[in-house]
Amino acid sequence: MTAPASISIGGVPGTSPRPTPQTPVARLAAGVSRRSGTALAALFCAWSGVWLAVWLLAATTVLGALLGFSETALGGGGLAQGPGAGVLSIAGGALAGMAVGLLTALRDLVIGQPLQLLASLAAGLAVSALVLSAIVWLEPGWLRLGGCRRLSRREAARLLPLVEAAAADLGLAELPRLLMVDSGSLRVRARSRHLVIGRGLLEEIGDDLAADQALGAVLCHGLHHWAAGDGAGEQWVLACGLPLAAVYNAGWWLAQQGNSILGLIGWVILWPAWLLARLVVQPLGAARSRRAEYEADAAVLAAGRGAALHRALSFLGELEAGRSGWDRVLADAHPPLELRLEALEETG
């Protein structure tokens, strides 16, 4: 396959529909490579023991603040020095506690036992590779357990011609398996071997010619993600950060139950997962995620479907927001919808 001329879209130079891998193994390797930085961050956060370091850092910070308050309130007439002195004392105690926690964590995690750290990361990497193999191999079963199903005859009659036309525009010789999920989802989700289409997308977008053009553009966008290995790359990030993702999803689920006690328990016990996922994994993966989105938009644009994608995005809104807590961590790293629309307008 020969790539069209390079396109600059979304402020990212050279985001063109590049030649895509044409075999399952090549797509898997491309996805792992494209998300390697995010996967390494997830691996470190999930398998290095940094979890305990975050708890230690928080505990020493709170302890330092309490000691600063005690010194101000009880020691040496501190209250007579005015409220400003008390605030400074508490802040100083918190900073001192944070410094102690940070130095202790670095000593215990990196300096004191470097071989143990490397062994933990190596073991985590080996387990992650096995988990990814299982996810890819058992993907049809996992997706069906998650509520996906085969297409009905009516759905196949509408979707298959659109997918085949989009694949021809992208120069793909192979198609993923199509599955439908019966929910209000408006997403077309790329996995390593499948393209999962939300039933809500078909219901919202309509069934006239303009709707088919918009639906074809959305499918083209999803096909590029699949062909470039982005679905496999997200699965690799999940495999590397599986312990972190599991705890994050548990805390997110507890917080969504509408019970204040359950929500408080969830966030008090599991908040380090939120901190690591949102402040470490997500920022480190944001640049790669944004580039992948703009590359897929550029591929749709080069296929002559830019106006149809613009209509679809304008009408439906963001198509790929995550459902679970961990999905949202990855989805929130995508570029804002308005910037994608602006980029499509500027380039075509």
Contact 297, 343 (CB under 8 A): yes
The sign one gets for the Cα dihedral 3, 7, 13, 17 is negative
pLDDT value of residue 144:
93
Q: By mean pLDDT, which of 50-54, 138-142, 204-208, 243-247 is the weakest?
A: 50-54
Contact 220, 180 (CB under 8 A): no
- pLDDT surpasses 80 at 299: yes
pLDDT value of residue 69:
58
Residue range 38-57: mean pLDDT, rounded: 80
Rounded CA-CA distance 255/249 in Å is: 10
pLDDT value of residue 215:
94
Percent of the chain scored above 90 by pLDDT? 36
Rounded CA-CA distance 175/193 in Å is: 9
93 pLDDT band, cuts 50/70/90, is: low
pLDDT value of residue 12:
52
180 φ, ψ (degrees, to nearest 5): -115, 140
Residue range 242-261: mean pLDDT, rounded: 81
- The DSSP secondary structure of 143-189, one letter per residue, reads HHHTTEEPPPHHHHHHHHHHHHHHHHHHT-S--PEEEEE-SS---EE
Rounded CA-CA distance 179/194 in Å is: 7
Rounded CA-CA distance 222/225 in Å is: 5
pLDDT higher at 221 or 16: 221
Choose the most confident range, by mean pLDDT, from 12-21, 67-76, 181-190. Answer: 181-190
Beta partners for residue 148, in sequence order: 181
**Secondary element (H or E) of residue 191:** none
Percent of the chain scored above 70 by pLDDT? 72
Q: What is the mean pLDDT of the chain?
A: 79
Residue range 255-282: mean pLDDT, rounded: 77
Sheet holding 177-181, edge to edge: 148-149, 177-181, 194-198, 188-190
112 pLDDT band, cuts 50/70/90, is: low
pLDDT value of residue 1:
40
What tokens does 166 get?
Answer: 């989009």
Q: Residue 199's closest CA among 188, 190, 208? A: 188
73 φ, ψ (degrees, to nearest 5): -80, -35
Residue range 341-347: mean pLDDT, rounded: 83
* Angle between helical axes of 242-255 and 260-276 (0-180°, round to 10): 150
Residues 6+ apart with CB under 8 A from 75: none
pLDDT higher at 142 or 321: 142
Q: Give how far Cα 141 sits from Cα of 146, 184, 186, 194, 222, Å.
A: 9, 22, 22, 12, 21
pLDDT value of residue 204:
86
- pLDDT surpasses 70 at 100: no
Q: What is the largest CA-CA distance in the chain?
A: 83
pLDDT higher at 81 or 26: 26
Residue range 26-52: mean pLDDT, rounded: 88
pLDDT value of residue 270:
72
Using one digit for the tens of pLDDT, what is the confidence trace for 129-162?
Answer: 999 999 999 999 999 998 899 999 999 999 999 9
Q: What is the DSSP letter of 9?
A: B
**Secondary element (H or E) of residue 198:** strand 194-198
Q: Give how far Cα 179 sits from Cα of 65, 77, 105, 266, Å.
A: 54, 71, 46, 33
- pLDDT surpasses 60 at 79: no
Residue range 118-139: mean pLDDT, rounded: 93
Q: Residue 171's closest CA among 213, 228, 128, 129? A: 228
Rounded CA-CA distance 197/316 in Å is: 14
Rounded CA-CA distance 265/272 in Å is: 13
pLDDT value of residue 42:
92
pLDDT value of residue 137:
94
Using one digit for the tens of pLDDT, what is the confidence trace for 206-224?
Answer: 888 888 999 999 999 999 9
